[in-house]
Structure 1
Amino acid sequence: MADVRLFPRLAAVHARRLLANPGISTGVDPDALRSAAEPFVTWAPSGGRRSTNAELDRLRDNIRAVAAACGWPGPAGQVSRASFDAGMGAFLLESGYLPVAEALRDDVWSWIAIALVPDVCLWRFEGAAPERFLGGRRNTLQRLWSRARVFDRGPGEEDRWELLDRLTEDAMVQITERPSIGADPKLAAAIGEAWVRTAAEVGASAMEALTREAVRNLRITNEVLCFGALGDADLAAAVGEHFQRAAAATASQTGQASG
């Protein structure tokens, strides 16, 4: 039988109470927060065994190691943040440390962000905005696991994590945080691949407006044409066509503006 580790859970009401601590915005004692969270922790009643403290500490140390490779706890610049996002997403998914059933739960990520590695979360996002600690699509680490799950080309694939490395933050948001797109991993991955191909042709600096145009039209088209019903080749072609049209439109607008 597989050894399924269960993780501590921290309900939103208790997570918000812990985040009300005014010290979390200026400095944080991870051990103190972990102790403060302990009375509110719950676990799944079945489906595996509870993770030991040693296993949880190992996860904490691995997360910190990835952050340290990107400059933590020093100043977090744009390059170090982007490197952290890509590296952490790959680690969280590739390591298989969190079972999918646990990683799909917001309350698990609330506990990880608040009680296990609040220092890393504060480094990645200054200001201690609650949404970066509470479970959900904006959670510092949960968003990275979710992105890696969508953009993983698969074990054994060449450049397995190229999409995580190449896609900009704006592109990630446009793709994964639009419910009609992000809810369909196959479509989201196809858009990511089209983004990389198009960026290689026109340059990454031109991609922000182009991506917004392409994604807007893809969402409209998806109302009448079910992209999820297309085969891989047809889906890639359809998405690629939208990006090519957006590239042409953007180039035309740029030319008119410069003229």
Structure 2
Amino acid sequence: MHDTLLPIMKALVSLELLRHANMDVKVSVLSCITEITRLTAPDAPYDDEKMKEVFQLTIAEFENLSHVSSNCYTKVVSILDIVAKVKSCLMMLDLECDALVVEMFQTFSKIISANHPHDVFSSMETIMTMVIDESDNISLDLLSPLLASVRKENETVSPISWKLREKVITNCAVKLQPYLQEAVCSIGVVSDSICPTKVGQAMAGTFKSVEEFDFLPTDEKEDSSNVARTRLKGQSVNVGHWNGWDTAACVSAGCRARK
């Protein structure tokens, strides 16, 4: 079957089609490529460089999910559904497309709304959860938008987006725990600003650990933070959007928030 598809596969990734000026044409091409990815799964249908270009186009076209009445909306929903079902999003981890993963998370959080059917919400939740669960390391660039979502005011400002990120954090609470403890100290988040929901419950252990951190013996304190610190070593985060966040939790725990 793969040999039969080769001429079509080659034609679909030509620069003329991938970079076509007409949006409907690009979405149609991407829809065909996504179907081919479904047929060849779990193997990638193209080499690494072509797959990176395909994923760049995919993330860019996810923006069209915000245009529910557009001609290409149904096709983009289908693409999203296939990416979730065949787990092709995990290929981005293998290809080390970290920036694209962060962009995808940001896009989902930005465009999800009450106008979308549950299937769209569910596919986004599935993709985000899978990516976190299968990641070897969780960067602060990926984690910080998720932490931003648990502020109380965001539940009323963007309730559907808040719900999406709440679900993802809850689904991945165990995986995120060691990273959250370090992120709390790095960014500066107080437990009073966390919504008293499943998100708050999922993070309760983190804040408890931070609050008790200063009372641990020195050796034990170093051991308990080494895992998260090693994973986050060398990473940085733009803290501009954290302005106004009280860092009392970190100060009381003896941690220093990054400037």
TM-score scaled by length of structure 1: 0.28
**Greater share of helix:** 2
